[in-house]
Structure 1
Amino acid sequence: MALVQPDENVNYQEEFITNSQGLKLFTCKWIPKKDEPKALIFICHGYAMECSITMSSTAMRLVKKGYAVYGMDYVGHGKSSGLDGFIDNFDSIVDDCSDHFSSICENEENKGKMRYLLAESMGGAVALLLDKKMPNYWDGAVLVAPMCKIADDMKPPAAVVYVLEGISRLVPTWKSLKLTEDIIDLAFKRPEIRDEVRNNEYCYKGPPRLKSATELLRASTDIEQRLHQVTIPFIVLHGEDDKVTAPEVSKELFNVASTKDKTIKLYPEMWHGLLYGEPLENIEVVFADIIKWLDERTKRGNTRSELVNKVETEQLPLNKNNKL
């Protein structure tokens, strides 16, 4: 099941915060009770999804391995403010994540800890744009079936995009026509998980609203043009039978990204929902790859830890050259 209740070894907390536009955002965190977290992981959830229920099993797997995990529902998603499933501006999602996640990283108890982004589907676009916004701030990204480009065979003609953008300016919250299969049926292999998502009142069901569709296309196009500029260390994981985001796009990201620290894992016969939508034996394989990748980099440490010691020892002022 996607929903996993915290046990006695996990400190789970929820809090509403207010973003720069005055909207309330739901946030949550899973922290190991007994030991100091060895690193921080920030969840970037997918379109129409949320953190505290659908991503709880993912968070619990990670926290039991010693990581502190933080989540936030975007505006229009989950328990946060906004019209369900409505994305007025994709950049605002990135700004909200950047503000909240960086504020956690900059807490005194977290200085020097490594910072990772764990992103699923549309969250992959959020993670890559977070790295673009704050280059060299994040120590790595786990990209699960990421939306980082519209596959060529799925991309609408330019004329259709032009018309869609025009209509969305007039009626931005209207729902687009349902032209494909139910995305829940396409994303999750296990029937019980499909039922769980459908019964989750905090998951948006239905066709994308017109402005949401154009914003998703805009964000994807922006990232597509900059795949070669991706410098963040990453592991990208994709099911070869994914019908929601194309595995070929993850292959392209791996091939053209500038970073030297990049890994790709492709899983035969697996679908889109790798983190909780597959049979348990498949999920175990996926998380073994994720934990191995995280542990290897966490053990190496980071250059920011060295800078923390230097700043404290030599009492150096923080500036643009040595910002932590």
Structure 2
Amino acid sequence: MNSKGLEIFCKAWLPRKGVRLKGIVCFCHGYGDTCTFFFEGIAKIIAASGYGVYSIDHPGFGLSEGLHGYIPSFDELVDNFIERFQVIKERSEASGVPHFLLGQSMGGAVAIKVHLKRPSDWDGIILVAPMCKIAENVKPPPAVLKALGFLSNVLPKAKLFPETDLADLAFRDPRKKKMAVYNVIAYSDRMRLRTGMELLKATDDIERQIEMVSSPLLVLHGAADKVTDPAVSKFLYENASSKDKTLKLYPEGYHCILEGEPDERISIVFDDIVSWLDSRCIH
């Protein structure tokens, strides 16, 4: 349960028996997504490298309860994540090892806001194509946005945000894009009005507080991403106060660099993630 009384779906992946646990990685999934389907493969690769991986479906997404695709408050979503992972971090296997956040797309915004609220709770943050600002080609025009903002107070749950085929923008490998249609618990309908306005508000909040990001930071982004702008990851990297920070841009990479690229490119990204984690854990 979360504080609103909703059942929240949680999942854990641990290294095989006999493998020493190096650290804990807590994953924040992106908009419309889930911690199942594509993430199963992602989690298993990280777990095989010696890390416990924990994830939840945000309320209203995947297998968690709540109106599908509806975010009434981004801050409440962040608080729910903190509440859930506070319990996970108190488990015996999580004691005495580093704790890391891994956020993808919208989950990157969740991870940043979790860190800003509880800056001393985490030993590092990995952000994959983080939603620090919505790309201009995805955002509605200013006049439309103003009208949507008014309507979001009247019809918050209405699916009235202009539709964009994100699969074409997110997956570079055609085979992976075809697989995405089988993720039947993903939310792929038009964005709900309040959800859209809350996402825009969250990115504005993050931009205003960007200099307060102080955790060790790894930012990974496809250089050809047209959903979240790689230039904003550069802005995050340059303006975060973190003394330990790394930015990696992958030439030709689209938005989903963990699951939507050719296999050999995905392997490079995972090697970068595991190497970064390993270098920040006690051996």
Please state which band the TM-score falls in when normalised by the shorter chain.
over 0.9
The equivalent residue for 2:176 is 193
Q: 1:44-86 CA deviation, whole Å, 9 max, x = no partner?
A: 0000000022211110110110000001000110000011111
| Shift in Å, 1:158 | 5.7
| Structure 1 counterpart of 2:260, from 253, 277, 286 | 277
Q: 1:228-248 CA deviation, whole Å, 9 max, x = no partner?
A: 111111100011100110000
The equivalent residue for 2:38 is 54
| CA–CA distance in structure 1, aligned partners of residues 152 and 257 of structure 2 | 32
The equivalent residue for 1:226 is 209
Q: 1:203-223 CA deviation, whole Å, 9 max, x = no partner?
A: 011221111100100111100
| Shift in Å, 1:154 | 6.0
| Structure 1 counterpart of 2:118, from 131, 134, 140 | 134
The equivalent residue for 1:66 is 50
The equivalent residue for 2:232 is 249
| Shift in Å, 1:173 | 1.3
Q: Could you tell me the percent identity over the aligned residues?
A: 45
The equivalent residue for 1:263 is 246
| CA–CA distance in structure 1, aligned partners of residues 207 and 250 of structure 2 | 23
Structure 1: 5+ residue runs without aligned partners? 1-17, 301-324
| Structure 2 counterpart of 1:165, from 149, 157, 166 | 149
CA contact (8 A) 1:198 1:205 kept: no
Give the paired residue count. 282
The equivalent residue for 1:209 is 192
Greater CA deviation, 31-40 or 72-81?
31-40
CA contact (8 A) 1:150 1:221 kept: no
CA contact (8 A) 1:52 1:71 kept: no
| Shift in Å, 1:156 | 5.4
Query: Under a length normalisation based on structure 2, what TM-score does the superposition of the two structures give?
Result: 0.95
Secondary structure of 2:280's partner?
Answer: helix
Secondary structure of 2:81's partner?
Answer: helix
Equivalent AA in structure 1 for residue 122 of structure 2: W
1:179–1:47 distance in 2 versus 1, CA, 3 Å: closer
Structure 2: 5+ residue runs without aligned partners? none
Query: Under a length normalisation based on structure 1, what TM-score does the superposition of the two structures give?
Result: 0.83
Equivalent AA in structure 1 for residue 49 of structure 2: K
Greater CA deviation, 154-163 or 115-124?
154-163
| Structure 1 counterpart of 2:272, from 278, 283, 289 | 289
**Higher RCO (Cα < 8 Å, 6 or more apart):** 2
Asked if residue 31 in structure 1 is aligned to residue 22 in structure 2, the reply is no
Greater CA deviation, 249-258 or 144-153?
144-153
| CA–CA distance in structure 1, aligned partners of residues 255 and 141 of structure 2 | 25
The equivalent residue for 1:112 is 96
1:158–1:190 distance in 2 versus 1, CA, 3 Å: closer
CA contact (8 A) 2:222 2:253 kept: yes
The equivalent residue for 1:313 is none
Secondary structure of 2:103's partner?
Answer: strand
Asked if residue 85 in structure 1 is aligned to residue 69 in structure 2, the reply is yes
Q: 1:286-324 CA deviation, whole Å, 9 max, x = no partner?
A: 111111110001137xxxxxxxxxxxxxxxxxxxxxxxx
CA contact (8 A) 1:142 1:236 kept: yes
Larger radius of gyration: 1
Secondary structure of 2:100's partner?
Answer: strand
